[in-house]
Chains A and B, each alone.
Chain A
Amino acid sequence: MIDLKGKLVLCLGERDGIAAPALQACVESAGAEVIYTETQCFV
């Protein structure tokens, strides 16, 4: 388990998996600061 409080986070999402905005919402709720988000599509 990682304590995300105060951590800087890069959110790299995948369209058919977990999209970046969802990752962002999760890590921000745990106290992290999101500095970059991007969702990619590999098909």
Chain B
Amino acid sequence: MSIQGLVRPVVRSAVFSMAHLPGMVLSGSKPRREVALDGDGLQQQIVSNLRSFADAVAYPPHQVMIGNLSPEILDTIERPWHRQPVQNARSEGPGGRFIDEAALYAWMARGDSSRLLRFHESLPPEMETALEVHASGEKTQRIDKEAMANAVLRGAEPFYMGGTTDPVGVMMPAHDSDESLTAPVLLENAVAKVTGALALSDLLKESNGQPVDHLLGCGEEAVGDRYQRGGGNLAKAMGEMVPGEICGGTDVKSFCAGAIHAMILGAALIASGMHRRVVVVGGGSVPKLGMKFRGHLQAGYPILEDMVVGVAIDMTADDGVSPILRLDRSAFHRLGQGSAAHQMAEALSAGPLYAHNLKLSDVDRYAVELHNPDITEPAGSGNVPHNNYQILAAIAAKKGEIQREQMAEFAAAHGLPGFSPTQGHIASAVPYLPHAIAGLTSGTMQRVQCVAKASLFLGRMTGAGDGASLLIERNPALIH
């Protein structure tokens, strides 16, 4: 595909909202189910092994997420990384910032358009302050402990502040018999909406007030009622929470590959001249909180899946500086290409490069699924990025780019350590964007390939997987 005559799309910035929600670990799918089976003993065990906000901020992989540390530094830090906190760690960086539970719950109150939240009549001082700061115009509904317990018996979903087993609030169900509007579903969707809106808000604060022509949502939540369970357009709901000129929105769905699909589609909208500025937004996942808590407890780790992360990615027409989104060197996984790891890597990484006379070794870094191995390995899920780089190195060897003995060297030179919270679509390639944009503008990098895969088979409608890749290149204006 030629891009001659089309507007060149660029990626200007990517911002993450890192919501540290230890109290909401109990609302994660796995802990919620297991606590219901095991009772209070397990609940107390989980609560006793949660991290503090300061610990989450000082966690080295999180400092990489917000751009205060480079990913490569993690290779020099002994694992497990939670035992090596960063001294004087800052909660803000060029790639995003942390949000604590109180602020997140206050933003939920601010975005409670259907008035479904109820807060405890007596809240911790930090929660009261957060409501004043972030939801000052909202009249929060307060109930006492007994009313809260009764609401839970009638289907309301409680939420907590870390270290306590008394809820600070509940999400009410929106309907007596609509399973798409049950309280757990609504809580999941509200947190996704707010974490995405927070990232979008921060991204727009740092830009120059240029209108956003379109938002593309890339999350994995199903927003709707029983007649349209996954009706969607959470992107528009996020945009509504943020000041500024935002024209509209659409959701793009493909499991964990949603963000890369959305980036390609957004770049195409810019290239076509239809829009000048498109922002990809995604909220984080509550169900994934604490998914591997058993493994963490067994290893003597704190429960590391306590982060819900939102993202906003700013794409515009060529500004003469920002890295170019090479639509002609992007790829969608096609039906019939096969879903095994080597088939995916051939289709998404080698295919679009070799079609344009590039080699795998011409790409400085591959941003694959960047799940933090400290989270996945104790639960037996392996080191996901490492496995992906092994496959890429094997393909490079098969194509004669390197010798078989050079595979480890190739993986080290072109790969990255995993540093992302296990938040599905959030972890898929995009955590590297702040570093890639810096490396491709003020640094020395020429090319980064973003690669994401999707487990479509989990929905039981197909046995197939999916994936997408997008090559990002240094702006030619910086080369000449």
Contact = CB atoms under 8 A, between A and B. Distances in A.
A19 B292 CA distance: 20
A21 B384 contact: no
B457 interface: yes
A16 B175 CA distance: 39
B24 to A, nearest CB: 19
A6 B287 CA distance: 40
B430 to A, nearest CB: 15
Contact of B427 (A14, A15, A37, A43): A43
A39 interface: yes
Nearest to B288: A43
Contacts, number: 42
A19 B340 contact: yes
Contacts of A15: 453, 455, 465
B364 to A, nearest CB: 24
A42 B376 contact: yes
B87 to A, nearest CB: 30
B339 A16 contact: no
Nearest to B341: A16
Interface string A1-36: 000000000000011111101100000000000000
A10 to B, nearest CB: 16
A43 to B, nearest CB: 5
Interface string B284-298: 000000011000000
**Chain B CB within 10 Å — which of A16, A18, A19, A39 has the most?**
A16
Contacts of B291: 42
B382 A16 contact: yes
A22 B387 contact: no
Interface string B361-393: 000000001010000100111101001100000
B376 A43 contact: yes
Main secondary structure on A side of the interface with B: loop
B379 A42 contact: yes
A26 to B, nearest CB: 12
A19 to B, nearest CB: 6
A36 B256 CA distance: 25
B292 A42 contact: yes
A9 B58 CA distance: 47
Contact of A16 (B379, B387, B424, B457): B387
B382 A22 contact: no
Contacts of A40: 458
Contacts of B387: 16-17
Given A17-B382, A19-B339, A22-B340, A39 B292 contact: no
B458 A43 contact: no
B463 A43 contact: no
B300 to A, nearest CB: 20
A37 B460 CA distance: 11
Contacts of A16: 341, 369, 381-382, 384, 387-388
Given A15-B455, A16-B387, A17-B382, A43 B340 contact: no
Contacts of A43: 256, 369, 371, 376, 381, 384, 422, 424, 427
Given A16-B382, A42-B381, 7 more contacts: A15-B465, A16-B369, A16-B381, A17-B387, A18-B340, A41-B458, A43-B422
Interface of B: 256, 291-292, 339-341, 369, 371, 376, 379-382, 384, 387-388, 422, 424, 427, 453, 455, 457-458, 463, 465
Interface of A: 14-19, 21-22, 37, 39-43
9 contacts: A15-B465, A16-B369, A16-B388, A17-B382, A21-B339, A37-B463, A39-B457, A42-B376, A43-B427
